[in-house]
Amino acid sequence: MSGKEKKPLTELQQEIINTLNGLEESKELYFTGGSALSAYYLHHRLSEDLDFFTPAEDMIQLISRKLLQS
Protein backbone atom coordinates (compact mmCIF):
# COMPACT_ATOMS: atom_id res chain seq x y z
CA MET A 1 0.00 0.00 0.00
CA SER A 2 1.36 3.39 -0.85
CA GLY A 3 1.15 6.42 1.38
CA LYS A 4 -0.94 6.24 4.50
CA GLU A 5 -2.04 2.71 5.35
CA LYS A 6 -5.80 2.22 5.64
CA LYS A 7 -7.09 0.87 8.94
CA PRO A 8 -10.00 -1.46 8.21
CA LEU A 9 -11.17 -1.59 11.85
CA THR A 10 -11.83 1.13 14.39
CA GLU A 11 -10.07 1.03 17.75
CA LEU A 12 -13.31 -0.13 19.39
CA GLN A 13 -13.76 -2.95 16.87
CA GLN A 14 -10.18 -4.09 17.43
CA GLU A 15 -10.70 -3.93 21.20
CA ILE A 16 -13.82 -6.12 20.87
CA ILE A 17 -11.91 -8.68 18.80
CA ASN A 18 -9.03 -8.68 21.29
CA THR A 19 -11.46 -9.18 24.19
CA LEU A 20 -13.22 -12.03 22.40
CA ASN A 21 -9.87 -13.68 21.67
CA GLY A 22 -9.26 -13.77 25.42
CA LEU A 23 -12.47 -15.68 26.12
CA GLU A 24 -12.39 -19.47 26.17
CA GLU A 25 -15.93 -19.48 24.72
CA SER A 26 -14.81 -17.53 21.66
CA LYS A 27 -13.47 -20.77 20.20
CA GLU A 28 -17.10 -21.30 19.18
CA LEU A 29 -17.13 -18.06 17.12
CA TYR A 30 -16.16 -17.47 13.51
CA PHE A 31 -15.27 -13.93 12.38
CA THR A 32 -16.67 -13.62 8.86
CA GLY A 33 -17.96 -11.21 6.26
CA GLY A 34 -16.54 -8.09 4.70
CA SER A 35 -14.95 -6.91 7.93
CA ALA A 36 -12.92 -10.10 8.27
CA LEU A 37 -11.79 -9.87 4.66
CA SER A 38 -10.86 -6.22 5.00
CA ALA A 39 -9.13 -6.62 8.38
CA TYR A 40 -6.98 -9.62 7.53
CA TYR A 41 -6.62 -9.81 3.76
CA LEU A 42 -7.71 -6.93 1.55
CA HIS A 43 -7.24 -3.86 3.81
CA HIS A 44 -9.38 -1.97 1.31
CA ARG A 45 -12.04 -0.25 3.41
CA LEU A 46 -13.18 0.78 6.86
CA SER A 47 -15.69 -1.68 8.24
CA GLU A 48 -18.83 -0.55 10.01
CA ASP A 49 -19.80 -3.85 11.61
CA LEU A 50 -18.37 -7.12 12.84
CA ASP A 51 -19.92 -10.40 11.72
CA PHE A 52 -19.59 -13.45 13.95
CA PHE A 53 -21.23 -16.83 13.51
CA THR A 54 -21.40 -19.86 15.78
CA PRO A 55 -22.86 -23.35 15.47
CA ALA A 56 -23.47 -23.27 19.24
CA GLU A 57 -26.54 -21.05 19.60
CA ASP A 58 -26.44 -21.25 23.40
CA MET A 59 -23.04 -19.52 23.35
CA ILE A 60 -24.46 -16.25 21.98
CA GLN A 61 -25.97 -15.08 25.28
CA LEU A 62 -22.99 -16.28 27.32
CA ILE A 63 -20.42 -14.54 25.12
CA SER A 64 -22.57 -11.39 24.95
CA ARG A 65 -22.70 -11.19 28.75
CA LYS A 66 -18.97 -11.73 29.11
CA LEU A 67 -18.23 -9.12 26.46
CA LEU A 68 -20.45 -6.57 28.23
CA GLN A 69 -18.73 -7.31 31.55
CA SER A 70 -15.26 -6.63 30.18
How much is the pLDDT for 5?
64
Q: What is the dihedral of CA 32, 11, 41, 2, to 10 degrees?
A: 160
- Examine the pLDDT at 36 and tell me if it is beyond 70: yes
Domain residue ranges of the chain, discontinuous segments joined by +: 11-69
Residues 6+ away with beta carbon under 8 Å from 18: none
Q: How does the average pLDDT of the chain come out, rounded?
A: 82
- Percent of the chain residues past pLDDT 70, beyond the cut: 91
Task: Write the Ramachandran bin of 41: left for phi over 0, alpha for psi from -120 to 50, otherwise beta.
Answer: alpha
Per-residue pLDDT band at 29 (split at 50, 70, 90): confident
What tens digit of pLDDT does each residue of 37-61 get?
Answer: 887 777 787 778 888 888 888 888 8
